[in-house]
Amino acid sequence: MIDSWNAILTIAYKEFVHVWRDRRVLLLILILPPFFTVVFGHAFGGAAIDDVPTMFFNADNSPESENFAKLLHGENIFTALVQGSDDPDKTQKDLDDLLQSLKETFTWKPWTAGNPEGPINLVKSGCQAAIVIPRGWGQAIHNGTPMPIRAVLDGTDTNTAPEVRALLQQALGSFQVNERFELIENLPVEVIDLGKQLSPDVQKEFNSSLTPWEVKASILYDPSLKFVDYVVPGMVGLILQLLTVTLIASTITREREAGTLSQLLVTPLRQSEIVVGKVLPYLIISLFLITGTIAIGHFHFGIKIHQPLQLCVICLLFLLCSLGLGVLISAVSKTQTQAVQFSIFLLLPIMMLSGAFAPLGQLPFSVRIFSELFPLTHFCRAFRSVNLYRANWDLIAGDLIALAIGAVVTCVGAAYLLRTAEE
Amino acid sequence: MRTPLIVLKDLAKRFGKRFAVNRISMSISKGDIFGFLGANGAGKTTTIRMLCGLSKPTSGAARIDGLDVWKDRFRIRSKFGYVSQRFSMYPDLTVCENIRFFAGAYRVPKHQFEERVSRMMQEMNLDSYTHIRAGRLSGGYKQLLSIACALIHEPKVLFLDEPTAGLDPVHRHRIWDLLYKVSQSGTTIFVTTHYMDEAERCSEVGFIQKGRLIAKGTPQDLKKRLGGDVLELHVEPAVAAVLELRKFPGVDAVDLRSGRLRIHAKDPDSLLKQWHQQWPFSGLAWLGYSWVEPDMEDVFNAFTLGYQFRPQAELEPANQ
């Protein structure tokens, strides 16, 4: 046992020296993962939609349309809304939020689309949205026949269009409520007195129908709804997956090509000792890297780390499984070129199908079964389960077991292939 | 009675339809320096790889110290060292690191470890190269390092696959001196080579041709089995003579050695008689002839030309 352990350490030390002496690779290992984490995090993590280039045309020129135009541009035009509300503090805050997001969402462009009532070409104008207040809009409100505001949206960006539409609806809603309160405030005293003669029940009902009814949604697991929280585990996993597989895939083939493998195989070293000894230093290096990249996620992107023990176990098993996969590739390939080719063909579906960037639920069932084969799939799911859903052991047990089985199967397979490859 | 340490019985290896090694049977005694001779592709390396448990015999078997080279390959690994044809140390590790790595891999016990490593460096004259990366060593020192790593566990047998290929004479000498020293300490040596002068240095020699063992014995035995001396001519100009004589019917091969021509022929006596009667080469000056004792190269030439040899049984025992 101690004998075996010493043998493993002998190999591990040698492998470590190989990496240490190969300065170019060492530099890549140390610099690229944190670099990519930062770049990818900024590239994919910003979920808030802002600076949508938008054209605006007010064809009405009534006081109402002027007011609404100001609102769209983020000006506080509310006169009666806060005072009229049952909970002025909350209403004030909601309004501030609305104005803030209006300011952030739209970048206003001059109108270049010609006739605001005709067809509008967004691409030609370089905009993603066009908003038109039609002629007679203010008058129509007074006439009791309200007209819709015209909005033309670019549907190719599946995130932006619904967001802009929802925001417009929200702004219009608040505008309407404000108008309503203004109306009530300016009612003649007689009407108020008349109202007081109504029975209390009817009064209450009337009041209730005047205040806006709302859905109070509380979003669990991801209070800030920041995409970056979702995407960083995927990114860290993806980077480590690529790195571990490509790094270790060339180790055995390099020895095969250099002839040192024969020399190794005439020593009393067991195949299993060779495989474990080769995996060990890469495990330490990749553990160091995964800690580093997660630390960047934490300090740079503000991702909170929950249940570190579970996360550690997930990372460890994921790395073991990935390294096992790499060793297996290494044992199968005859040359380093082959090993690289194998790695690429394996990593391509892993990148696309493991749910690193998009939820797996969107994939068809048949493909999802396939993606269960990849260590990255289990890593992403388990990591998010723990970090976003605060899942406990029982919820991630399946993924952990899958990773553990993967690690054992690939390493045993590699040891076995190392044996047969020479016969 | 000399004890056989390595025993091959009908050992064969087939790649596709071709037999790389074709039913070789022989035994090598303890303490021998066995030279395995043959042209490139004759099957030397394949044999050695089978003996080292790196390649599975197609049929037949071989044993080292009583253990089957394939079935017991995990157990016999500590019994032998193997220096492969190619330089197979880690070029990015230093000399010392390589030796220490193989000491660890061969499970040299802890209490002997340091002593063994430093002694090996000394014996191989690698002291002054301790911290040089193995890849930067010259060819001779690379070979010394390989041998050091193969001997670190004090094996009973040392296999060397063309250890002197491509080395200059000085280093070849050094390697052989070293092998003698190793042999003196009781290690049996199995070395392949295609340098015939090196065959002279072996205590026993085996010839392999196209996968078959065609002769085996001590260098003296083999020379005797050639059945006499070799005809050597003194002809000027020598280089032109080589080309002319090769074309002469009855002459199988001509070797130029120190200005004299060695004639390999089935019946050199009749050739000589013929030439005495009439020297057929007008452009060449006949200056005389002599009968010389064959060396291993002559033996090798004779074997590759397929000459009939006196069977070993006809030879008187060497020690009488």
**What's A102's domain CATH number?**
3.40.1710
From B113's Cα to the closest Cα of chain A, the distance in A is 13
**Beta-ladder partners of A263:** none
Q: CB-CB: which of A7, A266, A423 is closest to B104?
A: A7
Residue in chain A closest to B70 (alpha carbons) equals A423
* Burial grade of B111 (CB within 10 A; 0-12, 13-18, 19 or more): exposed
Helical axes A375-387 vs A227-258, angle rounded to 10°: 150
How close is the nearest chain A Cα to the Cα of B169, in Å? Answer: 26
Whether A263 and B88 lie within 8 Å, measured CB to CB: yes
The A residues from 13 to 32 touching B (CB cutoff 8 Å) are: 13-14, 17-18, 21-22
Q: Are residues A147 and A260 in the same domain?
A: no
**C-alpha dihedral over B93, B96, B101, B106, to 10 degrees?**
150
pLDDT at B317 over 90: no
Chain B partners of A266 at a C-beta cutoff of 8 Å?
Answer: 52-54, 77, 80-82
Cβ–Cβ below 8 Å for B90 and A10: no
Both A190 and A241 in one domain: the answer is no
As a dihedral over the C-alpha atoms of residue B278, residue B280, residue B285, residue B291, rounded to 10 degrees, the angle is: -70
When CB atoms are compared, the residue of B81, B89, B92 closest to A18 is B92
> For A13, which residue in chain B has the nearest alpha carbon?
B101
Enter the pTM of the model. Answer: 0.77
Cα dihedral A316, A318, A319, A325 sign? positive
Instruction: Give the span between the Cα atoms of B284 and B57, in whole angstroms.
Output: 53
Q: Is A259 on the interface with B (CB under 8 A)?
A: yes
For chain B, what percentages of helix, strand and coil (3-state, to nearest 5) are there? 35, 30, 35
Residues B5, B156 contacting (CB under 8 angstroms): yes
Query: How confident is the model over B152-173, as pLDDT tens digits?
Result: 999 999 999 999 888 888 989 9
Rounded Cα–Cα distance for residues A310 and B158 (Å): 52
Residues of B in contact with A277 (CB under 8 A): none
| A215 located within any domain | no
Pairwise CA distance, residues A418 & B9, whole Å: 28
Together in a domain, B250 and B152: no
Please list every residue in chain B whose beta carbon sits closer than 8 Å to the beta carbon of residue A24.
none
pLDDT tens for A268-327 read 998 899 999 999 999 999 999 999 999 998 888 888 888 889 999 999 999 999 999 999
A375 and A344 share one domain: yes
The CATH number linked to B124 is 3.40.50.300
Q: Identify whether residues A368 and A393 lie together within a single domain.
A: yes
Residue A83's pLDDT band, with cuts at 50, 70 and 90, is confident
Nearest CA distance, B286 vs chain A (angstrom): 53
In this structure, the answer to whether residues B93 and B10 fall within a common structural domain is yes
- Position B50: which residue type? M
| Residue B128 covered by a domain | yes
Q: Using CA atoms, how far apart are residues B119 and A252, in angstroms rounded to an integer?
A: 31
Neighbour tally for B311: CB within 10 Å: 8
> Which residues of A are less than 8 Å from B80 in CB distance?
266
**Is residue B171 domain-shared with residue B281, that is, in the same domain?**
no
What mean pLDDT comes out for the span A124-128?
A: 84
Domain boundary among A210, A235, A257: A210
Q: CB distance from A263 to chain B under 8 Å?
A: yes
Secondary structure letter of residue B204 according to DSSP: E
Rounded distance between C-alpha atoms, residue B164 and residue A202, angstroms: 111
Residue of B nearest to A262 (CA): B54
Please check the confidence at residue A211 and state whether its pLDDT lies above 70.
Answer: no
The total domain count for chain B is 2
Residue A92 lies in a domain: yes
Residue A219 domain-assigned (yes or no): no
How confident is the model over B17-36, as a mean pLDDT? 92
Q: Do B101 and A22 touch (CB under 8 A)?
A: no
Q: Do B23 and B149 sit in the same domain of this protein?
A: yes
Same domain, B180 and B267: no
Number of structural domains in chain A: 2
Tell me the per-residue pLDDT of A356-407, one tens digit each, with 9 for 90 and over: 877 777 788 888 888 889 999 999 999 988 888 888 888 899 999 999 999 9
Query: Containing domain of residue A272, as a range?
Result: 2-45+225-420
Co-location of A333 and A295 in the same domain: yes
Is residue B135, in this structure, part of any structural domain at all? yes
Helix A2-21, helix A23-45: angle, nearest 10: 80
Backbone angles phi, psi at A198, to 5 degrees: -65, 155
Report d(CA A364, CA B185) in Å as an integer. 71
Q: Which of A10, A17, A260 comes nearest B88 by C-beta?
A: A260
Phi-psi region of B303 (alpha: psi -120 to 50; beta: other; left: phi over 0): alpha
List CB contacts (< 8 A) between A423 and chain B: 55-56
Residues 6+ apart with CB under 8 A from A122: A113, A128, A129, A130, A152, A154
Phi, psi (5° rounding) for residue A216?
-105, 100
Nearest chain A CA: its distance from B49 CA (Å) = 9
Same domain assignment for residues A36 and A97: no
Q: Do A289 and A412 belong to one domain?
A: yes
Give the A:B interface size as CB pairs under 8 Å: 73
Read off the tokens for A318.
Answer: 């994921």
Q: Report, as an integer, the average pLDDT of A336-347.
A: 91
What distance in Å separates the CA atoms of residue A82 and residue A95, rounded to the nearest whole number? 9
Residue A347 CA to residue B98 CA, distance in Å, equals 34
Residues of A in contact with B77 (CB under 8 A): 266-268
Q: Tell which of A267, A269, A278, A418 to mutate to test the B interface (max B CBs under 10 Å).
A: A267
Residue A219: the pLDDT is 62
Alpha-carbon torsion, ordered A8, A13, A14, A18, to 10 deg? 130
Q: Do A270 and B88 touch (CB under 8 A)?
A: no
pLDDT at B312: 57
pLDDT digits (tens, 9 = 90+) for B265-281: 888 888 888 888 888 88
The reply to whether A117 and A76 lie within a common domain is: yes
Select the residue of A10, A21, A423 nearest B92 (Cβ to Cβ): A21
B82/B91 Cα distance (integer angstroms): 18
Q: Which residue of A has its CA nearest to B86?
A: A259
The reply to whether B67 and B158 lie within a common domain is yes
Domain enclosing residue B241, as ranges: 229-293
End-to-end CA distance of chain A: 28
Tokens representing residue A207 in the block: 């009041």
Q: Kindly list the strands in the beta sheet with B204-209, ordered across the sheet, starting from the edge strand earlier in the chain.
A: B80-83, B157-161, B188-193, B33-37, B204-209, B212-217
Chain B CB contacts of A9 below 8 Å: 104
Cα→Cα distances B57→B14, B68, B76, Å: 8, 11, 16
Chain B environment of A22 (Cβ under 8 Å): 92
pLDDT value of position A49: 67
Is A190 at the interface with chain B, CB within 8 A?
A: no
Alpha-carbon distance of A318 to A297, in angstroms, equals 18
Question: Residue B205 burial by CB count (10 A; 0-12/13-18/19+): exposed, middle or buried?
Answer: buried
SS3 percent helix, strand, coil of chain A, rounded to 5, is: 70, 5, 25
In a domain, residue A217? The reply is: no
Question: Chain B contact for A269, CB < 8 A?
Answer: yes
Kindly determine whether residue A268 and residue B107, on different chains, have CB atoms separated by under 8 Å: yes
A213: left (phi over 0), alpha (psi -120 to 50) or beta: beta
List of chain B residues whose C-beta atoms are within 8 Å of the C-beta of residue A272: none
Residue B312 resides in a domain: no
As a whole number of angstroms, the distance between CA B16 and CA B58 comes to 11
